[in-house]
């Protein structure tokens, strides 16, 4: 169960779907490119299925569903198109700026399965980058992807905080599983339907701002 009223030693935020509203934007690009190859998939259901996966995993599943190899530059084209869409349409998750401003006095970091370039672009476009500065950890740099706890454990070690003193804020099941496996207190941001696979004892956040009173922190910081 999440501890209440205790300042954590470190708050680890996921990026996509937790701080920035990027999940459906990114999936829509992937599905548009899949449709160009003859594979038509529903956005909402596919986005829920892919939530928390790294791009290579999503692309491999597309290949399986399509039943043939994808063009050699498929991943590169997905990344290029995604950047263009993000620059035009990416927004912070509702309440994200309010939450990080209120938590600015506490150690925070972003620990995401995405590549650093994508993380930094997303945070920059949404005004969140200054709050994390050099405290960004990428699964591609660590060589560990959720649900493996390695990324979170690496971030905690780098920030000099014991896992038991860390709080993880995640939107995906694999991220929640990684936080639990790391021995950290986990909050699951579930603004729509709550994933029934999320284990008992994980605190559910229907709005991101609910993290503040859960940690005993006033909205004004």
Give the number of residues written for the chain. Answer: 221
Residue 4 has pLDDT above 60, yes or no: no
**Is 2 contained in some domain?**
no
What SS3 state is found at 77?
helix
CATH number of the domain encompassing residue 35? 1.10.150
pLDDT band at 6 (very low <50, low <70, confident <90, very high): low
- On whether both 117 and 50 belong to a single domain, the answer is no
Tally the domains of the chain: 2
The domain spanning residue 16 has which CATH number?
3.40.50.1000
Give the DSSP letter of residue 87.
H
| Stretch among 3-17, 45-59, 110-124, 186-200 having the lowest mean pLDDT | 3-17
44-68 pLDDT tens trace? 999 989 988 889 999 999 999 999 9
Q: Whole domain around residue 112: which residue ranges?
A: 10-21+91-214
In 103-189 the beta strands, taken as DSSP E runs, fall at 108-112, 136-138, 166-170, 185-189
81 and 174 belong to one structural domain: no
Q: In this structure, are 135 and 52 located in the same domain?
A: no
Residues 53 and 162 in one domain: no
pLDDT tops 90 at residue 219 = no
> Which residue numbers are catalytic?
14
């Amino acid at each position: 169960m999440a501890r209440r009223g205790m300042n954590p030693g470190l708050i680890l935020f996921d990026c996509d779907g937790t701080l920035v509203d990027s999940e459906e934007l990114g999936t829509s690009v992937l599905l548009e490119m899949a449709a160009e190859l003859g594979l038509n998939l529903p956005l909402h259901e596919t986005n829920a299925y892919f939530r928390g996966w790294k791009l290579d995993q999503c692309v491999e599943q597309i290949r399986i569903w399509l039943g043939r190899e994808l063009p050699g530059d498929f991943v590169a084209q997905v990344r290029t198109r995604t950047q263009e869409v993000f620059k035009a349409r990416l927004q912070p998750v509702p309440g994200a700026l309010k939450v990080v401003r209120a938590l600015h006095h506490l150690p925070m970091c972003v620990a995401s399965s995405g590549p650093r370039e994508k993380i930094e672009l997303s945070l920059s476009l949404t005004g969140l980058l200054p709050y994390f500065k050099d405290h960004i950890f990428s699964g591609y740099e660590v060589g560990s992807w959720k649900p493996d706890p390695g990324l979170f454990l690496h971030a905690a070690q780098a920030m000099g905080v014991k896992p038991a003193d860390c709080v993880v804020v995640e939107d995906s099941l694999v991220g929640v599983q990684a936080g639990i496996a790391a021995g950290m207190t986990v909050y699951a941001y579930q603004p729509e339907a709550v994933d029934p696979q999320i284990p008992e004892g994980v605190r559910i956040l229907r709005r991101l701002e609910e993290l503040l009173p859960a940690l005993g922190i006033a909205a004004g910081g």
